[in-house]
C-alpha cells in the first residue's frame, strides 16, 4: 500500500488527520489539500522540520487557484502549522489572511411533481438492473437519495449510518457526531421506514456498511453526486447540488408543520434542532424560500435554551 504523504512531515500529516477526526470531524475534503501541501514540502527537500517565513510563503502560493479554493488550501496549511506548534515544534512560522468570498449559489427547490419524476427514474434503474451485479448498487442509491430528501440529512450522515443506528420499530435514526461534533435523533416517515426495512432484509445487511458499490466497497459521496446529476439529466431538470435536497426538505417540512397548525415560530425552532444546527442562524439559510418573517422568528428562537429540546436531540448519548 502506497504512502499518502512522503515529505519530511509525513508522519505529522498523518497524525494531524487523526487529530482532526478525533474531534469528530470527517476531514475528507481537506485531505487532498494536505496531499498538495505534502508535495510542496517534499519539493523543498527540507533537512529539518522547520517552516520559515519563506517556506510558508512558498507552500501557500496561490498558483492560479480560484479565490475560494485558495482560501481553503491556505486554511488547511495554516492549521497544520499551528498543530505543529501545539505538539512541540519551535521553528514554525504561520500567519492569518483574510478572504472575502461570497456564496452565490441559489439552491434549487423542486416541486412535488419534479421530486416524483426523480424517484420514478431512480426506481426505473432498479427495475432494469434486477438480476444483475448492479442491483444492490442502484437499490442503495435509491435509499440514499430518499433519506436525503425525506429526512433532510447530509450526505456524510447517510453514508456513515450503520445498522445499529437504525430503529425500525420506533422509526428513527441515530446520527452520531456529525457537523460540529453534534449527535441527534432523526425521525423517519412511515414510508421511509418501510423502504429501509425492505432494503435491509433484502440484502441481509449486518453490522457492515449499508451501501456498497459493485466492487463491494462503500459508496462514496462523489458517486452519489454523479448518479444524482445523471438522474436530473434523464428527467430534463435543472441541475442542482445533491445538498439542495436538504433545502427541499426544510422548505417542505416548515410548510407541513404550519399547515398542521403549529406556529411558524415553534416550527422553525424545532426544525433547527432536527437538522442538527447549533443555532437558528444556520437554519435561516435553508428557509429563504419561505414567506416566514425571519427576523421575528430569530428573536423567538434566541429565547429558547438547548435544555428545552432534550427530547429532540441528545448529545450525551454514547
C-alpha cell at 297: 422568528
pLDDT per residue as tens digits for the range 161-201: 888 888 899 888 888 876 666 777 888 888 889 999 999 99
Predicted TM-score (pTM) of the model is: 0.59
Residue that has been written with the C-alpha cell 426495512 in this structure? 197
pLDDT per residue as tens digits for the range 100-147: 766 666 778 888 899 899 999 999 999 999 989 889 999 999 999 999
- CA separation, residue 117 to residues 87, 217, 233 (Å): 54, 29, 11
Report residues of the chain scoring pLDDT below 50. 1-2, 289-318
SS3 92: strand
Q: What stretch of H or E contains 165?
A: none
Please tell me the distance from the alpha carbon of residue 176 to that of residue 166, in angstroms, as a whole number.
12
Asked if 117 contacts 200 with a C-beta cutoff of 8 angstroms, the reply is no
Sequence-ordered alpha helix ranges (H) in the chain? 10-22, 31-43, 53-59, 67-86, 112-128, 135-151, 155-159, 190-202, 221-234, 244-259, 264-274, 280-284, 294-302
Amino acid at each position: 500500500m502506497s504512502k499518502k504523504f512522503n515529505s519530511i512531515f509525513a508522519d505529522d500529516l498523518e497524525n494531524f488527520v487523526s487529530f482532526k477526526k478525533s474531534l469528530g470531524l470527517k476531514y475528507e475534503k481537506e485531505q487532498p489539500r494536505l496531499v498538495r501541501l505534502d508535495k510542496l514540502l517534499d519539493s523543498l527537500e527540507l533537512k529539518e522540520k522547520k517552516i520559515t517565513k519563506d517556506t510558508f510563503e512558498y507552500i501557500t502560493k496561490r498558483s492560479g487557484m480560484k479565490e475560494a479554493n485558495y482560501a481553503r488550501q491556505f486554511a488547511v496549511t495554516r492549521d497544520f502549522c499551528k498543530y505543529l506548534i501545539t505538539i512541540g515544534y519551535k521553528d514554525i512560522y504561520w500567519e492569518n489572511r483574510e478572504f472575502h468570498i461570497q456564496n452565490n449559489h441559489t439552491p434549487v427547490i423542486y416541486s412535488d411533481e419534479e421530486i416524483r419524476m426523480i424517484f420514478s427514474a431512480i426506481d426505473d434503474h432498479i427495475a432494469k438492473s434486477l438480476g444483475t451485479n448492479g442491483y444492490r448498487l442502484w437499490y442503495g442509491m435509491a435509499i440514499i437519495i430518499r433519506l436525503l430528501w425525506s429526512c433532510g440529512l447530509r450526505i456524510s450522515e447517510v453514508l456513515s449510518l450503520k445498522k445499529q443506528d437504525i430503529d425500525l420499530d420506533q422509526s428513527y435514526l441515530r446520527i452520531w457526531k456529525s457537523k460540529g461534533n453534534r449527535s441527534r435523533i432523526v425521525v423517519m416517515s412511515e414510508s421511509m421506514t418501510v423502504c429501509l426495512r425492505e432494503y435491509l432484509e433484502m440484502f441481509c445487511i449486518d453490522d457492515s456498511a449499508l451501501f456498497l458499490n459493485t466492487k463491494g466497497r462503500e459508496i462514496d459521496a462523489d458517486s452519489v453526486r454523479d448518479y444524482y446529476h445523471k438522474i436530473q439529466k434523464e428527467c430534463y431538470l435543472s441541475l442542482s447540488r445533491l445538498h439542495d435536497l436538504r433545502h427541499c426538505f426544510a422548505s417542505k417540512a416548515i410548510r407541513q408543520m404550519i399547515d398542521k397548525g403549529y406556529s411558524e415560530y415553534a416550527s422553525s425552532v424545532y426544525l433547527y434542532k432536527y437538522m442538527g444546527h447549533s443555532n437558528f442562524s444556520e437554519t435561516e439559510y435553508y428557509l429563504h424560500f419561505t414567506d416566514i418573517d425571519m427576523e421575528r422568528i430569530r428573536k423567538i428562537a434566541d429565547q429558547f435554551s438547548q435544555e428545552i429540546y432534550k427530547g429532540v436531540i441528545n448529545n450525551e448519548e454514547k
